[in-house]
Amino acid sequence: MKTVFNVVLGLCALALVYICYASIMGPIDFEQEKKHRDAAVIARLIDIRKAQAEYRTRHNQQYTNNFDSLIDFVKHDSLPFIFKQGELNDKQLEDGLTEKKAIAIVEKAKKTGKYDEVKKWGLENFKRETMWVAVKDTVFPKGFNADSLRYVPFGNGAQFEMATRNDTAKSGAPFCLLEVKTPYEVYLNGLNGQEIANLKDLQTKLGRYCGLKIGDLETANNNAGNWE
């Protein structure tokens, strides 16, 4: 009987040790894994932000709220790259010559074959040519998988929530707002539920979004991330 009691007592002691260890290490382990997952989600959101910035330049300053359109743009569209040779000197600028005028003079000479004005302005070595380079080769590293943009890391196939809204500035100029986000529950799934609840409670009390996101549909913030 005494032996059984000692065994039970020993098991209870081990259980208490484990409970104490878990209470200390649980939050630490959660925070470490959260940081790991945060980093992956943030990297993906930054990639989306890069893609949207280039998409906007090619689509009348409008973002897209559709991942199919964004991914197709990254995979198949191109961006203009201006090849520059020669710069306008102080004398040319003082005489009223601008980049736009200089380009027009050179282009006119190419079409007509008459280079008198080019020589007059000293633009023999002035050259501006537009080259088109694939988005995927310009914005992202070699081998980048554009199809991954829509998926939340550690989200088990879940996709980011992406939305846009058109608004008008006080000056009357139209502009487009973008917001891309994912809540904690999506990419922290499988971790300690109580720790996630505590995290959400803290963020709610601080008036912050319970997750990671870029941009905002209510306030223009240059698509900043809520971790920045």
pLDDT of residue 155: 97
**Beta carbons within 10 angstroms of residue 162's beta carbon:** 23
Q: From 113, 136, 159, give the residue that closes a domain.
A: 136
Task: Specify whether 165 is located in the same domain as 65.
Answer: yes
Q: Would you say 162 and 180 are in contact if contact means Cβ atoms under 8 Å apart?
A: yes
pLDDT of residue 171: 83
Q: What is the pLDDT of residues 113-149, one digit of tens each?
A: 999 998 999 999 898 888 888 888 888 998 899 999 9
Q: What is the pLDDT of residues 210-224, one digit of tens each?
A: 999 999 999 999 999
Task: Specify whether 148 is located in the same domain as 225.
Answer: yes
Q: Is residue 25 part of a domain?
A: no
Predicted structure pTM score: 0.77
pLDDT of residue 137: 84
Low-confidence ranges of the chain (pLDDT < 70): 1-26
pLDDT of residue 132: 84
Task: Specify whether 99 is located in the same domain as 208.
Answer: no
Q: Dig out the tokens for 212 from the structure.
A: 């990671």
Task: Specify whether 51 is located in the same domain as 158.
Answer: yes
Q: Is residue 17 part of a domain?
A: no
Task: Specify whether 100 is located in the same domain as 205.
Answer: no
pLDDT of residue 44: 98
Task: Specify whether 69 is located in the same domain as 101.
Answer: no
Task: Specify whether 190 is located in the same domain as 93.
Answer: no
Task: Specify whether 103 is located in the same domain as 171.
Answer: no
Q: Is residue 185 part of a domain?
A: yes
Task: Specify whether 66 is located in the same domain as 99.
Answer: no
Task: Specify whether 204 is located in the same domain as 185.
Answer: yes
pLDDT of residue 138: 85
Q: Would you say 56 and 62 are in contact if contact means Cβ atoms under 8 Å apart?
A: yes
pLDDT of residue 12: 55
Q: Is residue 21 part of a domain?
A: no
Q: From 88, 111, 136, give the residue that closes a domain.
A: 136
Neighbour-count burial for 191-206, b at 16+ CB within 10 Å, e otherwise:
bbeebbeebbeeeeee
Task: Give the residue numbers spanning the domain of 93.
Answer: 78-136
Q: From 111, 136, 161, give the residue that closes a domain.
A: 136
pLDDT of residue 27: 82
Could you tell me the sign of the dihedral formed by the alpha carbons of 3, 8, 9, 11, in that order?
Answer: positive
Question: Which spans in 1-113 are helix H?
Answer: 2-58, 67-76, 90-94, 99-112
